[in-house]
Amino acid sequence: MIAAPNKKIGWFDVISYFMLAVFCFSVLLPFWDMLLLSISDPKKTASLALRLWPKSFSLDAYEFAFSYNKVPLAYLVTIGRTVCGTALTLLLVTLAAYPLSKRELPFRNYFTSYFLIPMFFGGGLIPTYLIIRKLGLIDSLLVYILPGAVGLFYVLLVRNFFMTLEKEIEDAAFIDGAGHIRILFSIIAPLSKPVLATIALWAMVGHWNAWFDALIYIRDADKLTLQAILQQLLSQASSTIPTDTQNFNTLNPDKYVTGKSFQAALTIITIGPIVLVYPFFQKYFVQGIMIGSIKG
């Protein structure tokens, strides 16, 4: 076997690697700084100097975060919303995309246009609010899941992916007596892991990071999501948080929490689960996007 000649690294490669390293560093540094601020003793992190490693270790901010107001309950609401919303989105998107992928479907182009047009035109906030109120979803946990359960872009992406699968597989299943539902969930869905994993990742991130709908439609503070709680705390940082942290420090003389360390800990708690889940979907991400966007 003839060995391949060694490729020389030119200036273009050096500059590309350097720029990529700078970009990655600029992305990771704020997250790393926030993490260090949340686990360090606030007394030793009061300066504005750059933090590259913890000067001391303390989890007081996390203890205060999970005991503050309704953060634990909001965490459960957010997890429930993300899990149920993602599962419902995958189910409905799959059921909608499967018939649209059949060329023999009557009025197929009409239905495809029906899904395509709302992607470019929307009614706006006020009509949406009126519809939500008419449906009785105001101050209901279902308002987190039902209005955005079917992503139109997701439907078209999954439809295009289904169209790339070999039709002979379905024909063989039909000969064996399988119906459309059996074929969809026993054959098509397992073969579509890349695109379904991509849709699941997008839906999870969307549900986990959503906060605006909670502020508009929810009246009961017990039903707020974690992101909505975080947004309220950040907007009230100059008023309520200093008083609450002082009370916590007074009741716990051996602990010390500041508004900045509390916000840093709550931010890490908020983004932590998504950061941990993302690597499990990464291997499907590129493949699902590329294949699902080619054929129409």
Residue 180 lies in a domain: yes
Mean pLDDT of the chain, nearest integer? 81
Residue 118 lies in a domain: yes
Residue 31 lies in a domain: no
Question: What domain count does the chain have?
Answer: 1
Quickly tell me which residue has 């008023």 as its tokens.
239
pLDDT in tens, 136-183: 999 999 999 999 898 888 998 899 888 888 888 888 888 888 888 888
Q: What percent of the chain has pLDDT over 90?
A: 17
**What local confidence, expressed as pLDDT, does residue 134 receive?**
93
The answer to whether 262 touches 172, Cβ cutoff 8 Å, is no
pLDDT at 200 over 80: yes
Residue 19 lies in a domain: no
pLDDT in tens, 85-97: 999 999 999 999 9
Residues 6+ apart with CB under 8 A from 187: 169, 170, 173, 178
**What local confidence, expressed as pLDDT, does residue 231 receive?**
81
Burial of 111 (0-12, 13-18, 19+ CB in 10 A): middle
Picking from 4-8, 32-36, 67-71, 150-154, which range would have the lowest pLDDT averaged per residue? 4-8
Stretch 269-294: mean pLDDT:
68
What is the C-alpha to C-alpha distance for residues 75 and 229, in angstroms, rounded to an integer? 10
CA angle 115, 116, 118 (to 5 degrees): 80
**What local confidence, expressed as pLDDT, does residue 286 receive?**
60
What is the C-alpha to C-alpha distance for residues 191 and 161, in angstroms, rounded to an integer? 10
What is the C-alpha to C-alpha distance for residues 241 and 238, in angstroms, rounded to an integer? 7
Domain limits for position 284: 53-292
Residue 38 lies in a domain: no
Between 254 and 290, where is the model more confident? 254
| pTM listed for this prediction | 0.78
Residue 15 lies in a domain: no
Taking CA atoms, 203 is separated from 134, 149, 200, in Å, by: 25, 9, 5
Closest CA to 93 of 280, 285, 292: 292
Q: What is the DSSP string of the chain?
A: -PPPPPPPP-HHHHHHHHHHHHHHHHHHHHHHHHHHHHHS-GGGS-S-S--SS-SS---HHHHHHHHSTTHHHHHHHHHHHHHHHHHHHHHHHHHHHHHHT-TTSTTHHHHHHHHHGGGT----HHHHHHHHHHTT-TT-GGGGTSTTSS-HHHHHHHHHHHHHS-HHHHHHHHHTT--HHHHIIIIIHHHTHHHHHHHHHHHHHHHHH--HHHHHH---GGG--HHHHHHHHHHTTTTHHHHHHHHHHHH-TT----HHHHHHHHHHHHHHHHHHHHHHHHHHHHHHHHHHTT--
Closest CA to 268 of 8, 34, 2, 15: 34
CATH code at 61?
1.10.3720.10
54-65 burial string, b = 16+ CB within 10 Å, else e?
beeebebbbebb
Residue 194 lies in a domain: yes
